[in-house]
Amino acid sequence: MIRRTIEISQQAVHLTVRDGQLLLLARADDGRRLPAQPPGLLTAVPCEDIGLLLVDQPSTTYTHAALATLLAHDAAVVICGRDHLPAGLLLPLGEHSQVVWRIRSQIAARRPLRKRLWRQLVRAKIRAQARNLARGSAARTRLLELARTVRSGDPENAEAQAARSYWAALFTGVGWADAPRFRRDPEGPPPNGLLNYGYAVVRAAVARAVVAAGLLPALGLRHAHRANAFCLADDLVEPLRPFVDRAVRALWSGGSGEVTPAAKRALLELLTVEAACGGQRGPLMVTLHRYVASLVDCLEGRARDLSIPVVVEEPPEPGPAADDGAEP
pTM comes to 0.82
Whether domain 4-90 has CATH 3.30.870.10: the reply is no
Which pLDDT does position 51 carry in this prediction? Answer: 92
Distance CA 6, CA 126 (A): 31
The superfamily CATH assigns to domain 99-311 is CRISPR-associated endonuclease Cas1, C-terminal domain (1.20.120.920)
Per-residue pLDDT of the chain (328 residues; tens, 9 = 90+): 567 888 888 788 899 998 889 999 886 555 455 666 777 788 899 999 999 999 999 889 999 999 999 999 989 999 998 888 788 889 887 665 577 888 899 999 999 999 999 999 999 999 999 999 999 999 999 999 999 999 999 999 999 999 999 998 998 765 555 444 445 455 667 888 999 999 999 999 999 999 889 898 999 999 988 778 899 999 999 999 999 999 999 999 888 888 999 999 999 999 999 999 999 999 999 999 999 999 999 999 999 999 999 988 654 444 444 454 444 3
Number of H helices, E strands in the chain: 11, 11
Distance CA 176, CA 169 (A): 10
Distance CA 101, CA 41 (A): 45
CA 268 → CA 201, 212, 252, 263, distances in Å? 7, 20, 16, 9
Q: Which of 294, 310, 2, 288 is nearest to 127 (CA)?
A: 310
Cβ-contact 132, 249 below 8 angstroms: yes
Secondary structure letter of residue 270 according to DSSP: G
Which pLDDT does position 190 carry in this prediction? Answer: 82
Domain boundaries, the chain: 4-90, 99-311
User: Which amino acid is it at 45?
Assistant: V
CA 53 → CA 7, 201, 313, distances in Å? 6, 10, 27
Cβ-contact 291, 212 below 8 angstroms: no
Distance CA 5, CA 24 (A): 14
Secondary structure letter of residue 29 according to DSSP: S
Which pLDDT does position 300 carry in this prediction? Answer: 95
Distance CA 135, CA 127 (A): 12
Cβ-contact 200, 78 below 8 angstroms: yes
Return the bridge partners of 15, or none. 24, 62
| Same CATH fold assignment for domains 4-90 and 99-311 | no
Distance CA 148, CA 133 (A): 17
- Other Cβ atoms less than 10 A from the Cβ of 18: the count is 15
- Other Cβ atoms less than 10 A from the Cβ of 69: the count is 21
191 prior amide bond cis, ω within 30: yes
Distance CA 224, CA 106 (A): 14
